[in-house]
Amino acid sequence: MATGLLRCPECNDTMAVKYSSRPAKKKIEKYVCKNKPGCRSDRLPVTEVDSSLWGKLSGLLLKPERVYSYLAPAKEDHPTSLKNQLAKIEKNQARIELK
């Protein structure tokens, strides 16, 4: 369900499904970072990840007003807030330079 959409939590590369087998020859699907073996991320069980994603997606479909909270910019990203943060940083820099 999430192949190509799921991003690695370690390196942000895409993840794809790989199959591994246990001694009983039962195939197990897991999402694996495409940057393996260079990436240290864990393999993620497909059934658990897909179930979690489907739960989140169906929650958004049932309560579409929640979508806005994911799309709306965070308050700290608002231009006025960023200007205030920059002013504080510049003020602190000036104090440091005076010392």
Do the Cβ atoms of 13 and 4 come closer than 8 Å? no
Give backbone dihedrals phi and psi of 51, rounded to 5 degrees, phi first: -65, -45
CB 48 within 8 A of CB 30: no
Note the pLDDT of residue 94. 92
- Mean pLDDT confidence for 23-38: 82
Predicted TM-score (pTM) of the model is 0.54
Q: How confident is the model at residue 3 (pLDDT cuts 50, 70, 90)?
A: confident
Query: Which of the residue ranges 20-24, 45-49, 58-62 would you say has the lowest mean pLDDT?
Result: 20-24
